[in-house]
Every structure is written in structure tokens, then in C-alpha cells.
């Protein structure tokens, strides 16, 4: 009875991504920020390997992490909840969801008014309580609807319940949802019913309702459901996916409740995915820039974990991650922050390793599908199979080989590790020379070592390079080395190039040397 428990610590990022500035963020790191507060504690996650995640080593590395750990890059162009969760579930969004700092355009409002027969008030980003004070009375007088937005991709409609009963308001939201597609496909249309008699007494009722955008493609949830398995959504997961692919759901009011439901789910008899979102981190502490609150919430989660892990069976897989950052110490905005996210993959049968930096959150979907034996075509790769583990190991050997580089002239250390089909690994480094031209690159050192020992069946090559002994940027093979690789390897031969950001980029050899000259052109 295979099960995956996927827990999203909403907004718990682990350091700014290289493109953070494009999203208005500088020097952000949610986990680093809260870790400096005395209420932070992370005994369990540190044992799992929190300090082994690139950029978090100041927390203290462990020699033996109990989980497979690393950090995830958001390949999507966004930092919102919806896009983050979609990517976790295997769908990358090349465009951010639209936001409306200057209000919605005329064409949208005209279509909305034509559909509802009502005018529109406000049409600006606004606080949800202030908007009632400033526009509530006019709304009661004219019957026009209060439409407002926020820094998020939302179209919110506030209406007095005695004038517009909630069911009618929901109907208006559905009409708005139908209009807000494509270019104006906002993440959520939100019904905001309220009651009260005047500006001073208006209050929001609990009849809020969200109408989410449908994911543009099938997600992990659809794949698991289609395989006849359970998809149990805890917290706001069902809303984020507009209910698509969800077979059972429960809403929550707090992290504590979310953790309690997740723990209870361990006792349920099901096969499939239990997908939990713990929203307090983001909603109660991140946006409110409350560092002590965030630190204490992390500590509470960390203390809850051992009880959960003890009850897991051998067939259970636990993944803990986040959907974006929301650094509570970043005071330029109260918005989310563009960050890497941590990932822990834990299971009694999962071999721990540090996978460094992965290129997309979608590895999580691929890992879940792999564990459950479900077919799902997505841009990620499974982190529990052999493949990524072997690639990571080979890349680490290439990084180690940099130590032996003989580079008195350039100072650039390069290391290579060549895996042969029989499992042997040959490493190499660059070896420079006072008359420069005899210099041999790391890749060729490794390849020539293999060939000179009778081994020409190559499976994979990893390369790493940089100054001062650190991996920098990408250091791909030079033209001469590519020509030497072409002698022994075909177009699909994988070349891994270690990245200064952690992790590696995987190229097919043909990408590095298209239409190259090879023995195939010779009459041999």
C-alpha cells in the first residue's frame, strides 16, 4: 500500500534565487532569517539534513543526513502560491499570473458589468476591511459591486449579503471567472460577502469563497486519481488545484489542525497521495513580517515531525518542501519573496543523500509518481531512483578531482569524472605547462586514463571548474575536449556540468557538439 505524504510549509524558502532582483527581492532568505531568532529550533530537520542544503550550511551539516535533501529551483516565472504548487505537482508556468496594481482594464470591467447588470466601485488594490469602510455605503446606495485586488493575482468582489445574497454573489464570481481567462487569467476570483449597517459596523461574513484558475495541464493529482488511487487534500490544496484531481479533502484553520489531519491520515487505509499545505507560515507570520511567530511555528512543526515519522510504514514516503519564500525580515514589501525551497525526501526505504540544487520543483511530482508507480509525464526527475543519485555522485567526484589540478598559470581548477559502463570511474584534472600549449584539460586526462587502461565504453561524464577551488558558473568542455568525446561517444551521451549555484546541468552530447566530426565520417 504505497503512500506519499507531501507537506508544503507555505513560504518557507531557503535563500534568494539568482533572478530574485527581477521580482523586487534582495538578500532574502526565509529560513536563515527565522533561524537567527531564539524561538527557532530545528532538531529533527537538522538530523534530516537541513544544514546540508546549499546555502544553509551555517546551521551545521550532519555527516549522515537521514533524508535525501537539497534545494529546489522554481523554474516558473512567479512567486505565488498557485504557480508554486502547480510546479510541485509537475506543471511549470513560463508566465507569472497577472496582477493589477492599477486596477483591472476597462474591457474586463465592461464584460463583467454586462454579465452582472451592475456597475463597479473601487477597482484598485485595497485592504479588505478598509474597502468596506470606504465603499460599503455607496455600494448599498447604488447596487454597484465593490471590485478590488491586492499584490496577489486576485479579483475580489465584495457585496452586502442583504443586497446580494451569497449564492448570487457566487454566480457573479463564476461569470467573472469565465471572463478572467488567458491573458487575464488571475489565480483566484474571491467572493467577499459582508454585513452591517454603516461604514463603522460593516464586517466580513464567513461566506468567503474562492474560484481558482484551473491548472493548464494535468497535474500529479490527476495522474494519481486516474490510476484509481486516493488524492487527499488537506488545507488549501483543493482550492489551489480548483478541485482537479482531488478525491477527498478537508479544510483547516491552522498549522496545528493541518498537522493533526496529516497524522490522522497515517491511520487511514488508502493508497495514493496525501497533500498538505500549512498556511500559517505565510498568512500569519510571513506577510505580517513576524519573525518570532514564524520561528516558533517552524519549531512546532519540527517537534511534531518525529511522532509522524515513527508511525510511517516502509511503504510510506514523506516529502517536505515549500512553494516560495516570504522572508519576514524583508521590509521593502509584505509580499512573497523569490527563493529556492528546501526539499526533504524521507522514507524507511529511501537512501539518504544530498542532491544539491535541482532545476525545478517538478522533481517532487516525478518522485511521487515514481514511488506510487503511476505514469506521469512531467518536466521533473525522480530523486529516489538510481539516475539522479548516480549523476549527483559523479558530479561530486568531478568537484573533488579539482583538488589535484596543476594550475600555476591560470589558477582555474577543473575536475572531471568519467563513468564507464562497467561501473569504473576515471577522474582527471587539468595539468598546465610552462610553455602553455602542452596543457591538458581535465576531461581529456580522464578520457585518456580510461582508454589507456583498455576501457572505451563510456556511460557519463561530469565536469566541474572554477577559481579558488570553488565551483563557479558552468565550466563546460572546451572544443578540443568535445572533439575527443566525439571519438568515443554518441549523440545521447550525457555530460553533466557542475553549476556554481549547486547541482549540475545535464546536456546530451549532441547539444554541445551538433554536427560534429566523428569516426563515422572516416573510412574505418
Q: Please state, in angstroms and rounded to a whole number, the distance separating the CA atoms of residues 321 and 360.
A: 12
**Integer distance in angstroms from the first to the last C-alpha of the chain?**
55
**Residue 237 — left, alpha, or beta (φ > 0 → left; ψ -120 to 50 → alpha)?**
alpha
In sequence order, which ranges of 193-271 are alpha helices (DSSP H)? 220-226, 237-240, 255-265
The verdict on 430 binding ligand THU (CB under 6 A) reads yes
The verdict on 427 binding ligand THU (CB under 6 A) reads no
Instruction: Give the one residue of 181, 205, 410, 433 binding ligand THU; rule: CB under 6 A.
Output: 410
Give least dist CB 432 to ligand THU, A: 5
Q: Please state, in angstroms and rounded to a whole number, the distance separating the CA atoms of residues 408 and 413.
A: 10
| Beta carbons within 10 angstroms of residue 433's beta carbon | 12
The interface with ligand THU within residues 480-499 (CB under 6 A) comprises 481
Q: Please state, in angstroms and rounded to a whole number, the distance separating the CA atoms of residues 348 and 68.
A: 11
Give least dist CB 418 to ligand THU, A: 13
Instruction: Give the one residue of 443, 464, 504, 509 binding ligand THU; rule: CB under 6 A.
Output: 443
Give least dist CB 515 to ligand THU, A: 20
Give least dist CB 391 to ligand THU, A: 19
**Residue 86 — left, alpha, or beta (φ > 0 → left; ψ -120 to 50 → alpha)?**
alpha
Give least dist CB 491 to ligand THU, A: 19
**Residue 192 — left, alpha, or beta (φ > 0 → left; ψ -120 to 50 → alpha)?**
beta
Mark the segment that binds ligand THU (CB under 6 A) among 65-73, 327-335, 438-446, 516-524.
438-446
The interface with ligand THU within residues 460-479 (CB under 6 A) comprises 477-478
Nearest to 473 by CA among 507, 509, 497: 497
Residue given cell 526533504 in the structure block = 344
For ligand THU, which is the closer residue by CB, 101 or 408?
A: 408
Residue given cell 485586488 in the structure block = 149
Instruction: Give the one residue of 309, 407, 451, 459 binding ligand THU; rule: CB under 6 A.
Output: 407
Instruction: Give the one residue of 189, 259, 417, 441 binding ligand THU; rule: CB under 6 A.
Output: 441
Q: Please state, in angstroms and rounded to a whole number, the distance separating the CA atoms of residues 27 and 38.
A: 21
Give least dist CB 348 to ligand THU, A: 42
Mark the segment that binds ligand THU (CB under 6 A) among 84-92, 104-112, 194-202, 441-449.
441-449
For ligand THU, which is the closer residue by CB, 410 or 424?
A: 410
Give the CA-trace dihedral at 364, 366, 367, 370, to 10 degrees.
160
In sequence order, which ranges of 180-288 are alpha helices (DSSP H)? 220-226, 237-240, 255-265, 280
Instruction: Give the one residue of 261, 270, 412, 448 binding ligand THU; rule: CB under 6 A.
Output: 412
Instruction: Give the one residue of 397, 401, 442, 460 binding ligand THU; rule: CB under 6 A.
Output: 442
Residue given cell 489542525 in the structure block = 257
Give least dist CB 460 to ligand THU, A: 16
Give least dist CB 439 to ligand THU, A: 5
For ligand THU, which is the closer residue by CB, 88 or 481?
A: 481
State the pairing for strand pair 145-149/120-125.
parallel
Give least dist CB 470 to ligand THU, A: 14
For ligand THU, which is the closer residue by CB, 190 or 485?
A: 485
The verdict on 323 binding ligand THU (CB under 6 A) reads no
The verdict on 433 binding ligand THU (CB under 6 A) reads no
| Site size with ligand THU, rule: CB under 6 A | 13
Give least dist CB 285 to ligand THU, A: 47
* Cβ neighbourhood burial of 49 (10 Å; 0-12, 13-18, 19+): buried
Q: Please state, in angstroms and rounded to a whole number, the distance separating the CA atoms of residues 147 and 46.
A: 46
Q: Is 211 helix (H, G, I), strand (E, B) or coil?
A: strand
The verdict on 432 binding ligand THU (CB under 6 A) reads yes
Instruction: Give the one residue of 439, 455, 483, 518 binding ligand THU; rule: CB under 6 A.
Output: 439
Q: Please state, in angstroms and rounded to a whole number, the distance separating the CA atoms of residues 63 and 56.
A: 15
For ligand THU, which is the closer residue by CB, 140 or 407?
A: 407
Binding residues (CB under 6 A) for ligand THU: these are 407, 410, 412, 414, 430, 432, 439, 441-443, 477-478, 481
Amino acid at each position: 500500500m504505497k503512500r506519499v505524504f507531501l507537506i508544503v510549509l507555505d513560504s518557507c524558502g531557503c535563500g534568494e534565487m539568482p533572478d530574485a532582483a527581477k521580482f523586487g527581492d534582495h538578500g532574502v532568505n526565509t529560513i536563515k532569517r527565522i533561524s537567527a531568532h531564539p524561538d527557532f529550533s530545528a532538531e529533527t530537520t537538522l538530523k534530516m539534513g537541513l544544514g546540508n542544503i546549499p546555502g544553509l550550511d551555517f546551521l551545521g551539516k550532519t555527516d549522515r543526513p537521514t533524508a535525501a535533501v537539497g534545494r529546489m529551483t522554481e523554474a516558473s516565472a512567479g512567486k505565488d502560491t498557485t504557480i508554486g504548487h502547480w510546479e510541485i505537482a509537475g506543471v511549470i508556468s513560463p508566465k507569472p499570473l497577472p496582477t493589477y496594481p492599477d486596477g483591472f482594464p476597462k474591457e474586463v470591467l465592461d464584460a463583467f458589468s454586462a454579465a452582472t447588470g451592475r456597475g463597479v466601485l473601487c477597482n484598485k488594490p485595497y485592504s479588505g476591511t478598509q474597502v468596506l469602510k470606504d465603499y460599503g455605503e455607496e455600494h448599498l446606495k447604488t447596487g454597484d459591486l465593490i471590485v478590488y485586488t491586492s499584490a496577489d493575482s486576485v479579483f475580489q468582489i465584495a457585496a452586502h449579503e442583504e443586497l446580494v445574497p451569497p449564492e448570487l454573489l457566487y454566480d457573479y464570481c463564476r461569470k467573472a471567472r469565465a471572463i478572467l481567462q488567458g491573458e487575464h487569467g488571475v489565480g483566484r476570483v474571491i467572493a467577499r460577502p459582508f454585513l452591517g449597517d454603516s461604514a463603522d459596523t460593516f464586517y466580513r461574513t464567513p461566506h468567503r469563497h474562492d474560484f481558482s484558475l484551473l491548472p493548464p495541464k494535468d497535474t500529479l493529482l490527476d495522474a494519481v486519481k486516474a490510476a484509481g488511487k486516493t488524492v487527499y487534500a488537506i488545507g488549501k490544496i483543493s482550492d489551489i488545484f480548483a478541485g482537479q484531481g482531488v478525491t477527498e479533502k478537508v479544510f483547516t484553520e491552522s498549522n496545528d489542525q493541518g498537522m493533526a489531519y496529516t497524522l490522522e491520515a497515517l491511520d487511514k487505509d488508502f493508497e495514493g497521495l496525501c497533500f498538505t499545505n500549512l498556511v500559517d507560515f505565510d498568512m500569519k507570520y510571513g506577510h505580517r513580517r513576524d519573525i518570532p511567530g514564524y520561528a516558533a511555528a517552524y519549531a512546532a512543526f519540527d517537534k511534531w515531525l518525529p511522532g509522524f515519522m515513527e508511525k510511517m510504514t516502509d511503504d510510506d514516503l514523506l516529502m517536505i518542501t515549500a512553494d516560495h519564500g516570504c522572508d519576514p525580515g524583508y521590509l521593502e514589501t509584505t509580499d512573497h519573496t523569490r527563493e529556492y525551497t528546501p526539499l526533504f525526501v524521507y522514507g524507511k526505504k529511501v537512501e539518504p543523500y544530498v542532491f544539491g540544487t535541482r532545476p525545478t520543483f517538478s522533481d517532487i511530482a516525478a518522485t511521487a509518481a515514481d514511488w506510487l508507480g503511476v505514469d506521469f509525464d512531467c518536466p521533473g526527475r525522480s530523486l529516489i531512483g538510481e539516475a539522479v543519485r548516480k549523476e549527483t555522485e559523479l558530479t561530486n567526484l568531478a568537484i573533488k578531482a579539482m583538488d589535484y589540478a596543476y594550475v600555476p598559470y591560470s589558477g582555474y581548477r577543473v575536475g572531471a569524472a568519467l563513468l564507464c559502463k562497467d561501473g569504473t570511474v576515471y577522474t582527471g584534472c587539468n595539468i598546465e605547462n610552462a610553455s602553455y600549449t602542452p596543457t591538458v584539460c581535465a576531461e581529456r586526462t580522464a578520457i585518456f586514463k580510461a582508454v589507456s587502461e583498455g576501457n572505451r565504453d563510456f556511460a557519463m561524464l561530469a565536469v566541474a571548474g572554477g577559481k579558488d577551488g570553488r565551483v563557479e558558473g558552468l565550466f563546460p568542455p572546451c572544443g578540443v575536449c568535445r572533439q575527443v568525446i566525439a571519438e568515443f561517444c554518441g549523440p545521447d551521451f550525457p555530460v553533466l556540468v557542475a553549476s556554481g549555484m549547486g547541482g549540475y546541468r545535464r546536456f546530451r552530447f549532441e547539444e554541445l557538439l551538433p554536427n560534429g566530426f566523428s569516426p563515422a565520417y572516416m573510412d574505418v
